[in-house]
Amino acid sequence: MTAAVDTIEPPSTSVGVLGWLRKNLFSTWYNALLTIVMLWLIYVVGTGLLNWAFTGARWEVISANLRLFMVGPYPPDQVWRVWLVVALVAALFGLSAGVFGGTIRTFANSLAAALATLAVLQFATGGVRELTTYMSSLPGQSPVQWLTTMPPGPWLVAGLVLVIGAYLLGRQRKTWRRWLIPLWLLAFVLTIVLLQGFAKNNWLPVVSTTRWGGLLLTFMLSVVAIVVSFPLGVLLALGRRSQLPAVKVFSVLYIELVRGVPLVTILYMTQIMLPLFLPGEVRVDNVLRAIAGMTLFTAAYMAENVRGGLQAIPTGQIEAAQAVGLNNALVTLFIVLPQALRMVIPAIVGLFIALFKDTTLVMIVGQLDLLGVGRSVLAQPEYLGLQTEVYVFVAALFFIFSYAMSFASYRLEAALGVGKR
């Protein structure tokens, strides 16, 4: 039944590499011109940049101050607590990846890859010597000291093992699903307790928040602000849609006032006025004031995001719930909120990215976040004039985290089918 057909091959200029070039780079005369100009631009900028990065730049300003960039003035002998938090988060990520799969698995994969890369880098640059000294010091010490004196290399390996182990475990235990969100919240509380410590004990002495710094402070500021602003934002969003005029007016005023002023003025206000507003005996340190400012600010934006979700719930859902006899509170709690919050998850990730970048503003009120540490490093006489190196490093760190999160948010949006249901 097959008839022999003489098929003529498409001309070689419209397929393959040549075809692609023709279609995408040289389709018209002005596109060709643009392409050539752009290629020249890339060549000039690219060679200049590579030349600088590999021969001109003095990267020792980064490697010599790496601990400062990561944890700031956090006491060096207590840094094992930060590592413990990293391990905890790695384990929870692995577990979530195993249980949920999908986007979180991609994330856990990149986390594992990052840990592996850092471990290799660490061992390649003197980590092996550190490890042997550590091993030889082990016999004379208690197990607690084994933990507290562990060098970065083994910690990174431990993190890697935990991600993979927890992932394999999670894959067997799909029913742990419902425990994961409580577990994450528990980890959040545990992290703060671990980093902060208690008074009057030998293992976890208090490290006041004024000594948190670097990337650690940047992360803690943004995570605490987003977690605390979430309930506030939901309440404000519900308040804005409330039928009670008093509640509504209050919510609208709060949201619009906060959204109308720059974040830095709010940070400045909490920095100076928070102590005035509280009774004289309550002392709030600078980092807590910054967190309060970030939270108050984020709550207003969170409220607007949540409101978007609330508005997208069809009235039929509410009417149906009322018809089966639920009262207003129950309708909101069990019908409206679960659907609305699910819809705004990608928007909240977007808000978190913005917040993560905005934490740099605490530098203006004198905190040692990642950017603040960069600035204090540059103030040391031996690193004068290395602004380019330091700020490129800081920008690159922010870029990696923000880009990873926006990628995740994009994937999440597709997975949740926002706007497609």
**Which residues form the interface with other proteins (CB under 8 A)?**
24-25, 27, 31, 34-35, 38-39, 42, 243-247, 250, 257, 259-265, 268-269, 272-273, 275-280, 353, 357-358, 360-361, 363-364, 371, 375, 378, 385, 387-388, 391-392, 394-395, 398-399, 402-403, 406
The answer to whether 242 and 248 have CB atoms below 8 angstroms apart is yes
Closest CA to 342 of 407, 240, 241, 421: 421
The residue (of 171 and 375) whose beta carbon lies closer to other proteins is: 375
Kindly tell me which of 53 and 273 has the beta carbon lying closer to other proteins.
273
Burial of 35 (0-12, 13-18, 19+ CB in 10 A): middle
Q: Which is nearer to other proteins, 27 or 172 (CB)?
A: 27
Query: Nearest distance from residue 72's CB to other proteins, in Å?
Result: 16
Q: How far is the CB of 188 from other proteins (least distance, A)?
A: 24
CB 6, min distance to other proteins, A: 33
Name residue 316's amino acid.
G
Closest distance to other proteins from the beta carbon of 403 (Å): 5
According to DSSP, the residues that pair with 205 across neighbouring strands are 198
Closer to other proteins by Cβ: residue 26 or 134 = 26
CB nearer to other proteins: pick between 31 and 210: 31
Handedness of CA 230, 233, 239, 241 (dihedral sign): negative
For other proteins, the closer of residues 45 and 120 by Cβ is 45
SS3 of 173-240: CHHHHHHHHHHHHHHHHHHHHHHHCECCCCCCECCCHHHCCHHHHHHHHHHHHHHHHHHHHHHHHHHH
CB-CB contact of 229 with 236 (8 Å):
no
Minimum CB distance to other proteins smaller for 89 or for 266 = 266
Cβ atoms of residues 294 and 267 within 8 Å: yes
Among residues 210 and 327, whose Cβ is nearest to other proteins?
327
Residues comprising the chain, all counted: 421
Q: What are φ and ψ of residue 205, in 5° steps?
A: -65, 155
- What whole-number distance in Å separates Cα of residue 340 and Cα of residue 326? 18
- The nearest distance, CB 369 to other proteins, in angstroms, is 10
CB of residue 151 to other proteins, shortest distance in Å: 30
**13 contacts 22 by C-beta, under 8 angstroms:** yes
The CB-of-276 to other proteins minimum distance in angstroms stands at 4
Q: What gap in Å lies between CA 215 and CA 373, rounded to an integer?
A: 9
210 Cβ neighbours under 8 A, 6+ residues apart: 285, 286, 287
DSSP characters over 357-383: HHGGGGGTTT--BHHHHHHHHHTSGGG
Q: What's the CA gap between 222 and 290, in Å, rounded? A: 11
Taking the complex as a whole, the smallest distance from the CB of residue 34 to other proteins amounts, in Å, to 5
Which is nearer to other proteins, 24 or 380 (by Cβ)? 24
Nearer to other proteins by Cβ, of 123 and 398: the residue is 398
Closest separation between CB of residue 278 and other proteins, Å? 6
Least separation in angstroms between CB 297 and other proteins: 11
